[in-house]
């Protein structure tokens, strides 16, 4: 299912494009397919959203550039942890939410690739919301976030505190379900110490959903609000 969605998105890529390269197990299939096309003559430049994606892209021969004020990203292909009926997302399971959101913001078109299990009735039902915070005062920031109605846990890997590519901490915040994602997005952004959060609001143009039978494409303007 992931492979179906990831490879379908490649159809949007044209010669000469600057492409935002997302992070995750589904978009990995996109990047690998793009690598094959580059080896066969496709002329693109990629902007990776994480160190992990950068290493993969370099390994398979995709030319990479930095995001600067002179760059216009034609299309970004990325994954998501949850997608609701408004095409709002929860992202950050892979820890790259800050760079992913920066790249999404500066893209003409944002395409999300997921398998059908990621489509949900309400965000936060099956996946905690990642929030990237500064090391300084992180526990005070955690308390302020929890006052919004969640239980927050500092992300750890093998008992070691997880650091993002930006050397920040991640809090995984369990809201049970998020009734008002727009309002929550604004509230989180107003807390000092919050660098960025994994709610992606009005940043997505299309979602390609993979299933065993193939793919379907959801577009923002055709999704019921």
CB 106 within 8 A of CB 155: no
Beta strands in 102-219 (DSSP E): 110-115, 129-133, 151-154, 156-157, 160-161, 169-174, 194-197, 199-200, 206-211, 214-219
The span from the CA of 132 to the CA of 134, in Å, is 7
What tokens does 123 get? 């965000």
The span from the CA of 21 to the CA of 5, in Å, is 15
Which positions are annotated as active-site residues? 100
What tokens does 86 get? 């408004």
């Amino acid at each position: 299912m992931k492979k179906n969605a990831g490879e379908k998105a490649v159809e949007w890529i044209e010669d000469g494009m600057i492409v935002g390269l997302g992070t995750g197990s589904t978009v990995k299939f996109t990047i690998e397919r793009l690598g094959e096309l580059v080896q066969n003559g496709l002329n693109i430049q990629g902007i990776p959203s994480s160190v992990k994606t950068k290493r993969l892209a370099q390994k398979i021969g995709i030319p990479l550039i930095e995001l600067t004020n002179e760059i216009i990203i034609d299309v970004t292909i990325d994954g998501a942890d949850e997608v609701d009926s408004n095409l709002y997302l929860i992202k950050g399971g892979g820890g790259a939410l800050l760079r992913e959101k920066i790249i999404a913001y500066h893209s003409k078109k944002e395409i999300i690739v997921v398998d059908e299990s990621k489509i949900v009735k309400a965000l936060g039902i099956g996946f905690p919301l990642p929030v990237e915070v500064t090391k300084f005062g992180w526990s005070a920031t955690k308390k302020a976030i929890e006052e919004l109605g969640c239980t927050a846990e500092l992300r750890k890997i093998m008992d070691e505190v997880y650091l993002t590519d930006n050397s920040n901490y991640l809090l995984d915040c369990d809201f049970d379900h998020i009734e008002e994602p727009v309002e929550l997005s604004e509230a989180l952004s107003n807390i000092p110490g919050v660098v960025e959060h994994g709610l992606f609001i009005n940043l997505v143009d299309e979602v390609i959903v993979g299933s065993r039978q193939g793919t379907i494409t959801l577009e923002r303007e055709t999704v019921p609000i």
